[in-house]
Amino acid sequence: MSSTQASKNTLSFDIKSTLLPLESVIIRSNNLSQVIADLKSRFSKHPDFFDNDPIMIDLTQIGEEQDNPSLDVSVLYQELKQHKMNPVALRSKNPNHQAWAELAGLFLVTDAQIGQPMKSKAIDPKSAPVNKDTSQQTMNDKIVGNPTQSNEAIPKQVVLEAPHATSALVVDKPLRSGQHVYAKGRDLIVMAMVNAGAEIMADGHIHVYAPLRGKAIAGARGNKEARIYTTCLEAELISIAGVYRTSDNPIPKEVAGKSAQIRLIDDKLVMQPN
């Protein structure tokens, strides 16, 4: 059979439904100057936190009363780009924001399109591999899906693609004050001391097989299942999924200077001896 004949029987493309994991930047103030200042304060020290990652701008938390002027979303868009974010979608109830999104080519998201779960009948447990990675399920406001479909449009069988294993970032040298290490999209393992003034950050778990005296930030992108492990807990700051504790609040005696693990339980940091 010639290639011309084969092409008549085979389409050169496929169309499949998908769920896209997006970071959601939720704006909570109409004061654009304050928003920009807070963005710079949060990310100026971590210029590699984003790497042109697709994000959704969420403006549903800001008021739109007459005495509360509408935020200039075009300026916000440019500011987010400065921090290596790539806005691809907008969620807003403001008609002006929606009109701007259409002109800018951004996908307009409605409440009905946020986090729509797959119906259980659409999954065949015999043929679909189980995805044990729950990190995406624990990230707040970070899943943007397709519009709700009718039952006829839902495929009878959904095949889940198992994620590729990502090795942890391993650091085997002491970290001095002012040094910063970020394990993007994976765990971080530190084999030497993290001195006061140093900062370690990971999207997953953090393991420190030495005294931890600096700052440790696990679940940096909202993974509430992340944990921090250390053989000697003396940290000046610890944080998991945005919940943090500083040295102003002393470490409990039962774990201070000892082997410990830190995790989130009901959105509270819990420190336990190992």
Task: Measure the CA–CA gap between 264 and 171, rounded to whole angstroms.
Answer: 25
- Sign of the CA dihedral with 135 first, then 138, 139, and 142 last: positive
Whether residue 145 is found in the same domain as residue 175: no
48 has a pLDDT exceeding 80: no
Whether residue 27 is found in the same domain as residue 108: yes
Whether residue 32 is found in the same domain as residue 128: yes
Percent of the chain predicted with pLDDT > 90: 37
* Residue 148 φ/ψ, nearest 5 degrees: -55, 135
With beta carbons less than 8 A apart as the criterion, state whether 73 and 90 touch: yes
163 has a pLDDT exceeding 50: no
139 has a pLDDT exceeding 60: no
The answer to whether residue 209 is domain-embedded is yes
| pLDDT tens-digit map of 243-256 | 888 888 889 999 99
Produce one character per residue of 23-58: b if its CB has 16 or more CB atoms within 10 Å, e if not.
bbbebeebebeebbeebeeebeeeeebbeebbbbbb
With beta carbons less than 8 A apart as the criterion, state whether 98 and 89 touch: no
Whether residue 106 is found in the same domain as residue 187: no
144 has a pLDDT exceeding 70: no
**pLDDT score at 111:** 61
